[in-house]
Structure formats: C-alpha cells, structure tokens
Amino acid sequence: MTAGLDGIVRQILSAAVVALLPALSLSAAADEASRGGYLANAAGCEDCHTDRDHGGQPYAGGRALATPFGTFYSPNITPNPETGIGRWSDEQFLRALRDGVRPDGANYFPVFPYPSFTKITDADARAIKAYLFSLPATRQANRAHDISFPISWRFLQNGWKLLFFSPGPFRPAPGRSEAYNRGAYLVTALAHCGECHTPRNWFGAMEPDRFLAGNPDGPDGKSVPNITPDPETGIGNWSGEDIATLLKTGQTPEFDFVGGAMGEVVRNTSRLDDADRRAIAVYLKSLPPIHSQKKGR
C-alpha cells in the first residue's frame, strides 16, 4: 500500500518535472539571449553590422567600412537562413569569432576584429549567438567587398594569420584585482578598443608594443587618440572617474562631448553597468604610458 502510494507520488512528480522542463529551458534560453544582448552591445556588433546612414535594418549588414586596403561591406548577421547566419551551428559561430574562419572554411579579413574576439569566452560567444538568433531575420543579401588583388585573395590571409594572429581565450592575470581583469577582458576582447586606438603596421596588423597608443590612420582616415596614461600625449591627466564619465555620457574633462566614431561607441558604453565602466577605467589607468608623436586629440 505504502509502496503503491509512493509510486503514484513519484509518477505525479516526474510528470510535473517533464511538464516543467520545456518552460525551464525556455526561460534559461531567454536569460542567455538577454545576457548575450548585453555582451553584443559591449562588443558594438550593431554599429558595423547596420547601414544606419541608409536606413538599414539592425544587424542586416551593408555598412561601408573604408580602410587603407579598400572598402569592406559588413555582412548580415540576423538569423535569416538564406542571407544571414540562420543556418550556423554554435561551433561555426565560435570558429568565426575565435579563428576568423567562415563556415565554408575561407578566412575573414581582419576588418572583422577576430584578433580581439578570439579572446571572448565560449560561454559569452554562445550567449551572443543566442541573442542574435532572437532578432528578426532580415532578408538582405551581402554586398561584395570593394578591394583589389592581391588583398582580395582570401587564402593569402593564412600567411597574415601566421605572422600576426595569436588565437586563444582571455586569461585573467593572477594577482590582479577582479576589476582589472574584467576591464582587461572588456577592453581587449569584447569592446575591442585596440582595433581603433592601436596603430597598425604595413600589413594592417596592430602593433603590440604600441597597444592603445593612438592611431594616426584610423577608420575613415581619421586619427584616433592615445588612451594610455601618458600625461602629455595620452590621457594621463584623466582620473578614473573622468574615463567612466566619458564612457557614460561622452563628456570629456574639458566639457566637450565626443562625436565621430567614439560618439557611436558611447551609445554602447552608456548602456554598460557602472561597475563595467569603472573596470575599464581601472584597466586603462594601469597600462604603461606610451608617448606618441603628437597629441592624439
């Protein structure tokens, strides 16, 4: 009799679990997508992958990115199965970010900042994919890049990678504070600050010993300031609070409000948590000061 009752209770319980499971995993998926939304915003995916100047749909690509090597057009990263990334597996998405490789095996050009994104953790990359797959699937064909030979030969990128690309996830520095390591992860991986603020060599690779020391020839031919703590040519006179304020409202210590490409970035950094903005400030203040030829701004 007891055994029978026990069995019934067990059956009811397991039925309840089976009924609840899809709901539970649904809400876990929704959580992951919303976490991914925060991360995608920190990474600024939407800025390059939206043709805002021509009223393009979010994440549907087509924005022209002028570089010294030609003009690249960002691809559609909405979940549209034909024109976007709707058929990609998690593994294919991770490979794109981690190794700079398309699902068909061809290389991306480093205008896609995979040399920074390689440092993104797998869990964060999966969350970003979950977020992208929660977006409307916009049908918009990708536009071919306007680049010439030999740059246009994608397999030559293998040589570039051999010389300039070091794959691998972010490793927290032991003995450093949690804020420092969070800031380092945001700056070097997700927010990929170095892609614009670091000068590039003849081959378009970031110069590692001049990390964040300003780039005289940044996107659209504009110079990008030195954000190392050099007091004369960098932001050595800024307090951590100044840096966090800039990331929140775009206001500089001289009471200007930044525009241009950084104006776009501030739209994203203004949506970060205060703790993340402070972490970025902690990390930037801890960098070795690097002197640049002219004042960056």
Partner 1 sequence: MFCVTKFRMLGAALAIAVVGASGPALAQDKETVLKDRQATMKEQGKNTGAVKAYLDGKGDLAQAKTAAADLTQTTKKIPELFPPGTDGPNPTGDYVAKAVIWTDWNKFLDAQKAAAAKADALLVAVSSGDKTAIEAAFNDLGKNGCGGCHTTFREKIEK
Task: Decide: is 266 part of the binding site for partner 1 (CB under 8 A).
Answer: yes
- CB of residue 63 to partner 1, shortest distance in Å: 15
Task: Decide: is 274 part of the binding site for partner 1 (CB under 8 A).
Answer: no
Stretch that binds partner 1, among 71-79, 138-146, 180-188, 264-272 (CB under 8 A): 264-272
Among 270, 275, 291, 293, binds partner 1 (CB under 8 A): 270
Task: Decide: is 68 part of the binding site for partner 1 (CB under 8 A).
Answer: no
- 189 or 191: CB nearest partner 1: 191
Task: Decide: is 136 part of the binding site for partner 1 (CB under 8 A).
Answer: no
Taking the C-alpha atoms of residue 224 and residue 123, their distance in angstroms, rounded to an integer, is 31
Inter-CA distances, 5 with 12, 82, 104, 119, Å:
11, 55, 58, 55
Among 7, 81, 221, 236, binds partner 1 (CB under 8 A): 221
- 207 or 264: CB nearest partner 1: 264
Specify the DSSP element, H or E, that contains 81. none
Stretch that binds partner 1, among 87-95, 155-163, 166-174, 220-228 (CB under 8 A): 220-228
String marking each residue 278-297 x if it binds partner 1 according to CB under 8 A: ----------------x--x
3-state SS of 184-236? HHHHHHHCCCHHHHCCECCCCCECHHHCCCCECCCHHHCCECCCCCCCCCCCC
What is the sign, positive or negative, of the torsion defined by CA atoms of 241, 246, 249, 253?
Answer: positive
Distance of CA 169 to the CA centre of its chain: 14
Q: Give residue for tokens 């805002």.
A: 52
Stretch that binds partner 1, among 106-114, 115-123, 155-163, 218-226 (CB under 8 A): 218-226
Taking the C-alpha atoms of residue 276 and residue 272, their distance in angstroms, rounded to an integer, is 6
- 167 or 263: CB nearest partner 1: 263
Stretch that binds partner 1, among 18-26, 55-63, 72-80, 254-262 (CB under 8 A): 254-262
Among 263, 274, 288, 293, binds partner 1 (CB under 8 A): 263
- Asked if residues 9 and 106 have their Cβ atoms less than 8 Å apart, the reply is no
Task: Decide: is 222 part of the binding site for partner 1 (CB under 8 A).
Answer: yes
3-state SS, residue 138? coil
Taking the C-alpha atoms of residue 65 and residue 52, their distance in angstroms, rounded to an integer, is 12
Burial level of 11, CB count in 10 A (0-12/13-18/19+)?
exposed
- 103 or 253: CB nearest partner 1: 253
- Asked if residues 190 and 43 have their Cβ atoms less than 8 Å apart, the reply is yes
Among 35, 126, 176, 248, binds partner 1 (CB under 8 A): 248
The site for partner 1 (CB under 8 A) is made up of 221-223, 245, 248-251, 254-260, 263-264, 266-267, 270, 294, 297
